[in-house]
Amino acid sequence: MKTIFEKTGLDEEKDNRIYEMASEILNRGGLVAFPTETVYGLGGNALDGEAAAKIYAAKGRPSDNPLIIHIADIDALKVLCSEIPPLAYSLAEHFWPGPLTMIMKKTEIVPHATTGGLDTVAVRMPNNRTALELIRRSGVYVAAPSANLSGRPSPTKAEHVRQDMDGRIDMIIDGGNGDIGIESTIIDLTDKVPVILRPGYITKEMLEAVIGPVDIDKAVALGKQSDAPPKAPGMKYRHYAPRGEMVIVEGKDPDCVTEKINRLAAQKKKEGMKTGILATDETEPFYKADYVISVGTRGSELSISSHLFDVLRQFDDLGVQYIVSEGFSRENVGYAIMNRLLKAAGGKIINTDESEE
Ligand code: TXA
Ligand code: MG
């Protein structure tokens, strides 16, 4: 398949043509990758079971992993969800368009192919102009997982999507880089107390300020692979993972952390591995490895979240076999950042306060 590449935001007439072409593709059951404020999505018609099947095939993803449906209009909730608790409207009012996905009971119209066989559906209104225009103009509810090959870090740039999806889908729309960079917060509204199934930019505290008490799913809270069955089926697969082996080092004393990271990198280099260190602007000068890459500044959570997946992909491109990453505070967005890092590292974390080999 030949994949069409187009860039929005250059001139209006061209944008119109791009949206027309993309609408036509979506309406005939094809696939279009598009930007959102979190990561790029791989979109297809959510009400077309065959389009959903194509999405799974393009990603190489197991088809029991349900898709998020992207909407541009709050009225779509009534079409897609059969039980809408009042707090869903409060959340929508506060956080949509934005990086929050809500799970509710689905209506008949939503095929099980889109929901991975579940009777619930995940819905989100993205805060990105290209995404909203695409949904509005096509008149399609757009089912979209992150536009990466299954198991690879989510794409935050059109170039990442090209690497993974060229030749596998009909079209890629380049609308720039997402400013958040990690996937939406997922909240399940089907229980008495809402449960966070995946942490993101919208934190527990932000949600509680609007709707009161919110739980965090047990498997997510533990931060490591656990025996608790995952509520969001997607959380059970190895995710966000660079090809190299990865470990996180954290601790109270920054000097101890730096020393430990340098020591690990040196040791693996001696074993003949190509090494990489995921650093921050503040610490970058103190490291030594084949590649030291700063993910952003410790002064801004967004600078870290927006570059995280790109840095993991850079290590892949450089052929790095062993990556050591600094840890981050678990406060606010840091909670979601550490969730993604831990997944990338397969749960491997060393705390310099505890361990001394
Ligand atoms: O920010 C985002 O959410 C991005 C952009 C493209 O919108 N999308 C995204 O999709 O991250 P994906 O497919 O990579 O992750 C969707 C997650 C999976 O973990 C999946 O299991 C969960 O949402 N999910 C979807 N529908 C669900 C449902 N009905 N019940 C429980 N979990 C669900
Ligand atoms: Mg994904």
Which ligand approaches the C-alpha of residue 237 most closely?
A: 1
Q: What residues sit around ligand 2, an ion, with C-beta below 5 angstroms?
A: 146
Closest-lying ligand 1 atom to the alpha carbon of residue 200: 1
The string of pLDDT tens digits covering residues 207-224 is 999 999 999 998 887 765
Ligand 1 centroid distance, CA of 69 (Å): 9
If you average pLDDT over residues 323-329, what whole number do you get? 97
Helix axes 86-95, 204-211, angle to 10 degrees: 130
pLDDT digits (tens, 9 = 90+) for 113-158: 999 999 999 999 999 999 999 999 999 999 999 999 988 999 999 9
Is any ligand 1 atom within 6 A of the Cβ of residue 339? no
Query: Given the CA of residue 65, which atom of ligand 1 is nearest to it?
Result: 21
My answer on whether omega of the bond before 97 falls inside 30° of 0, hence cis, is yes
* Ligand in closest contact with the CA of 239: 2
Q: Is the pLDDT of residue 286 over 60?
A: yes
Q: How confident is the model at residue 226 (pLDDT cuts 50, 70, 90)?
A: very low
Q: Ligand 2 centroid to 154 CA: how many Å?
A: 6
Question: Considering the entire predicted model, what is its pTM?
Answer: 0.95
Residues 6+ apart with CB under 8 A from 231: 188, 195, 197, 217, 219
Ligand in closest contact with the CA of 153: 2
59 alpha carbon – ligand 2 mean position (Å): 10
